Structure 1
């Protein structure tokens, strides 16, 4: 139980107070300092019952800021870049994976005290933003030296701290430097977005979850009619979308109340024509992070070591990227298999899309791309692949067989 969370009245009271205070600020200097105060206040409330983690977070913030300032002055220092990325990855793995925890406890017994409680709130997206800031600093992408208040606000921005959407430092501070108060129209749109998100998440998704395949308890799951399991699989896909996109709507709406145009996270993913397009529409900010900091660097690595077949490079990079994305979601092997499933699907699509024009010719390819019938069939195929890929999380072979037997 936390002192403040997304479903608590205290959270929205905090948002209301933050909105009024931010709109009283004059100029970007006062805005960034007030926003830093609000973000730090939220973090203190969030970690109220986890004071050890709070102190660790502040220590982590301070040491990494000093490291990033040093890196800004010597961007070619690969050791410092690797060290800062490594620290973030170690912290992330320490709090997410039991195997890593066992290793540290075996060799550093005192580290066990840091696992009480075992989960570190927001460690994933905090680490991702920190890694992107380190890499962008090392690559000279930052237009100016990171200001301490902007640094705090970027990493601890409270509407997005728990589960994103992920933003980039330069884009974030562009909005943070704008001092124009929010107009009536912008305020209305932001509040509407929050209400719509709550409607999707709290009213629809939470209500329908009990009817979905993962809302049925194990005893009922074994006894449920095959038709219920089959329909529950479809329902879960919609519940997952409504829950997560609803959360994103809330985060984006609150961000805009504070003057930050946080990137969109979903764009009608169930209308995607293929698996590649699907992942460009689902959890967009995270997928773009994977693309820029894992997928593209993997491609460059394979090119440097002599790979010349671009299709093969893209396919292998997809598989590795999505296996890592799967592992990030949890330390059960099932997450690895889920990531591999989608990585292989993306690799297969890469091969398919590169070979299809050669197989059917340019004229038929133009018809293929414009055909409404092909688009409908492709969209249905992509949607069903996503729905049935989620069934892997049931982890009960007999139940999975029953679901597929209904086809």
Structure 2
């Protein structure tokens, strides 16, 4: 049988195979309160084969090589991390963990072709690997079990686009199946998430992305930015981006729930955020929290400890620009992704300045439902403008 088009959550046939394959696991948890580890491993092998067979076999080979490389790397770091020159070992391990992703990002710039190391989900697996090394250094992960680590990397419901789980949380649930009572809650939540995923991705996301977006894109390219088409495109693309990605994330979380895992959610009504910081606490949360915990907080600690800047405010602003520049470059090495990142850094720094102003001189400024509604609308439009930049349509308007 040809599984070429059965990439995760993109084809109705994928859901049919998924439902049939996951049923024994559901029955085991529901009736016996047990998760059969061997069956979960079998599911992982089968669905990785489904996702990377046919025309994607090169990606499958790259995935296998990548997992072997990261497993050996984390083992080596775990073994040698206690050496006197710990910092050198640590930074070398982090650099090595990032290297395959770095090659994937830069290879097209020089060769014009995708890297041989590329496969669907390499970014999210890299985040997991770097997280593992950093938490080992912090002493939060004291033991290394390669089999558990591989299952963490290859957890198939989230392998292609997250959410990005944390190893300690995943390991705890891997070793201890939920009780029958708790699993009933997981089951109910999982079914709800999957049905909401269908609504988001295949109804709302499809209509916005396949019907409305081509029409408004054509109008915008024909008439330019200085017309109502600018707003039409901005709103449609922003809503499409949300419903498509949030729908995928709901599928990933829902399937995880059915397997007895409480995988963290990725979206929490982001367009209702009353500030840009609130937005990043609601949008693609597993990614934004990962960047916050493993890049921003560590960078801030270094800047303050080394007294690179006298002012904490300056250090914080530098940290934000570094953080969002990295996030922009991670999306791709094109000017609009870089501008997207720098734009969000500017928004965050401006938000912090406004908060400081209110604490010092804003005691008499109104604070009520009307001001909160105004903040929410303002944040929504600031975010939509960033997604317009992110979409790359400006590149088509100005440089094509």
TM-score range, shorter chain: 0.7 to 0.9
1:218 deviates by 4.4
- Distance of 1:175 and 1:239 partners within structure 2: 33
Q: Show the counterpart of 1:171.
A: 169
Q: Show the counterpart of 2:195.
A: 195
The answer to whether residue 66 in structure 2 is matched with residue 65 in structure 1 is no
Does structure 1 conserve the Cα–Cα contact (< 8 Å) formed by 2:186 and 2:262? Answer: no
1:348 deviates by 1.6
Query: Following superposition of structure 1 onto structure 2, how do residues 281-320 of structure 1 map, counting pairs within 5 Å?
Result: 281-306=282-307, 307-320=309-322
The answer to whether residue 147 in structure 2 is matched with residue 138 in structure 1 is no
Query: Following superposition of structure 1 onto structure 2, how do residues 3-402 of structure 1 map, counting pairs within 5 Å?
Result: 3-23=6-26, 31-49=36-54, 50-76=56-82, 77-98=86-107, 102=111, 115=115, 119-142=118-141, 144-179=142-177, 180=179, 183-210=183-210, 212=212, 216-218=216-218, 221-223=221-223, 226-306=227-307, 307-361=309-363, 364=364, 368=366, 370-392=367-389, 393-395=392-394
- Distance of 2:223 and 2:379 partners within structure 1: 30
CA distances 1:360-394 after superposition (whole Å, capped 9, x unpaired) = 34xx3xx64x4212111111111111112223232
**Matched residues, number:** 384
1:190 deviates by 0.9
Q: Show the counterpart of 1:403.
A: none
Unaligned regions of 5+ residues in structure 1, if any?
Answer: 106-111, 400-407
- Report the CA distance shift for 1:329/1:385 in structure 2 as closer, same or farther (over 3 A): same
1:256 deviates by 0.2
TM-score when scaled to structure 2? 0.86
- Distance of 1:8 and 1:342 partners within structure 2: 34
Greater Cα offset, 27-36 or 275-284: 27-36
- Report the CA distance shift for 1:61/1:126 in structure 2 as closer, same or farther (over 3 A): same
- Report the CA distance shift for 1:3/1:249 in structure 2 as closer, same or farther (over 3 A): closer
Greater Cα offset, 155-164 or 202-211: 202-211
1:337 deviates by 0.6
Does structure 2 conserve the Cα–Cα contact (< 8 Å) formed by 1:39 and 1:158? Answer: yes
CA distances 1:320-365 after superposition (whole Å, capped 9, x unpaired) = 101110111112111001100001111121222123211234xx3x
1:289 deviates by 0.4
- Distance of 1:214 and 1:313 partners within structure 2: 43
Does structure 2 conserve the Cα–Cα contact (< 8 Å) formed by 1:213 and 1:235? Answer: yes
TM-score when scaled to structure 1? 0.85
- Distance of 1:380 and 1:63 partners within structure 2: 47
Unaligned regions of 5+ residues in structure 2, if any?
Answer: none
- Distance of 2:380 and 2:280 partners within structure 1: 12
CA distances 1:217-252 after superposition (whole Å, capped 9, x unpaired) = 547731489334423322222221111111111111
